[in-house]
Homo-oligomer: A and B are copies of this chain.
Amino acid sequence: MHLTQALHRALQQDERRPLTIFGDRVRSVAESTDRIARLAAGLRSLGVERGDRVALLGTNSDRFHESLLAVAWADAVVVPINHRSTPSDIGFALADCGARVLIVDDVLVTATRGWAAPLVVMTDGTAPAGTLSYEQLINAQEPMPDSGRGGEDLFGIFYTGGTTGRSKGVMLSHSNVLASAWGSLATGQFVTPGGRLLHAAPMFHLADLATWVAALLTGGTHVIVPGFSPDGVLAAVERHRVTDVLLVPTMIQLLVDFADVHRFDVSSLARLIYGGSPMPDGLLARAQKMFPRTGFVQAYGMTELAPVATLLLPDDHDRPELAGSAGRAAPHAQVRITGRDGAEVPRGTDGEIVVRGDHVMPGYWQRPEETAAVLRDGWMHTGDVGHMDKHGFVFVVDRLTDMIITGGENVYSAEVENVLVQHPAVTACAVIGLPDARWGERIHAVVVSGDPEVSGDHLQDFCRSRLAEYKVPRTVEFVGALPVSAAGKVLKRRLRDERLPE
């Protein structure tokens, strides 16, 4: 099957139905699909051929939605890039995937300075000199027939934080993202068929994309806001009678802290799906009180799993013994907890969470060694540590790899450490994630300094000049020495445990 098949079905069944709503701009199925078929032809006219990569850099919009589908329609591979990355990271991803064309928001054009391939600029105004206008490209073309790209063909490459300071491209086929969507939908408690899905979380991220695919398959309308803000989300829910939304815990925190929340009518919201980082218990309780008629669904997974592995369904939320659980294997996924020897451990025992199924990525783009390190016998080794209760509920307790999830973004501590140690005053450092009410985790740097004059602020500024803002440590602590193991490895878990609140 191919993702664009959903457009043909929508055309056949109700071409006048709104497919996207972005601010005051409503595009019907017919109009949206016509634009997608023209944009695909435009990409072809720029030299895009079967299997070529087309990068996509933008905030949420109806054009972002069109681009995701137009690249597939044109038989190419979409590479949605985190627009909060630094120009250096963006440049790395563009070069690594060998992007043939880059579709970019007008406000983000400067981040792509120096990029040689054609730049297609999404704008309501005029495209800058030396670039192509997205709208003109669409207008200049006749619609092309759908290539029918699907099945094991790659749908996209998604860059995630890299443990060695550079990110890796997760390859996902059409079958991968479809498998996750079918299995999630089969519970009857994922995205509402024929409903109105709000895109408030970033659409380049697999969490939101999971709901996007599900809504496409079941004939939903995509209500899109450029980015998250409490009043923007609440106003969109009220105005468009939104039925479903995916939010990361950081966004939920901002929502429940928002003073004017009770001014909005959110009674239409049937489902609030959350994931992307651990959800504090207290926050969940507050959110459930705020949306009493809404079913809460937790989705646990990762980009490499396209992305859903387990689901905690609304009824599960009523059981106190399941507080802190990430739910059970979704119908499409096999989930196990394994020990160091690779064998399954007894229920209740911590081990690595491993996952198998049609949704597991074929690998990292041009990274056979890193692929082999995580994919063994078809099992994706998530790097997350957890246990499973006797009814299959998974509890994620820690991460094997040094990844910090802050505000829904993955940050590998190694990348931040690699920057810190470049500062002449830093003799050693360890970067850890600490629980944070707003961010889920905040990045905390523990530093051994050779220069008492150097302040935390100074090191933060140093990082800021070399890292995306969300990767900069929010707190810096100076110590005399780091705890190390007999083998000389920094004992990060001990560092973290000592700094946890009582």
Contacts and interface: CB of A to CB of B under 8 A. Distances in A.
Interface in A317-347: 328-329, 331-332, 334-335
Contact of A185 (B6, B186, B388): B186
A217 interface: yes
A142 to B, nearest CB: 19
A494 interface: no
Question: Could you say how many copies of this chain the assembly holds?
Answer: 2
Contacts of A179: 1
Contacts of A332: 1
Nearest to A315: B194
B9 A218 contact: no
A391 B14 contact: yes
A286 interface: no
A358 interface: yes
Given A193-B188, A391-B14, A392-B14, A331 B9 contact: yes
Contact of A331 (B218, B334, B335): B218
Interface of A is mostly: mixed
A110 interface: no
Interface string A157-187: 0000000000000000000000100110111
Given A1-B358, A188-B192, A331 B217 contact: yes
Contacts of A182: 182-183, 185-186
B9 A186 contact: no
A147 to B, nearest CB: 14
18 contacts: A5-B357, A6-B331, A9-B329, A12-B329, A12-B392, A13-B328, A13-B391, A182-B182, A182-B183, A185-B185, A185-B186, A185-B188, A186-B186, A186-B193, A186-B218, A189-B193, A217-B331, A219-B331
Interface of A: 1, 5-6, 8-9, 12-14, 151, 179, 182-183, 185-189, 192-193, 214, 217-219, 328-329, 331-332, 334-335, 357-358, 388, 391-392
Give the 9 A-B residue pairs with the shortest CB-CB distance, closest first.
Answer: A13-B392, A182-B182, A185-B186, A12-B392, A188-B193, A188-B188, A217-B331, A1-B358, A186-B218
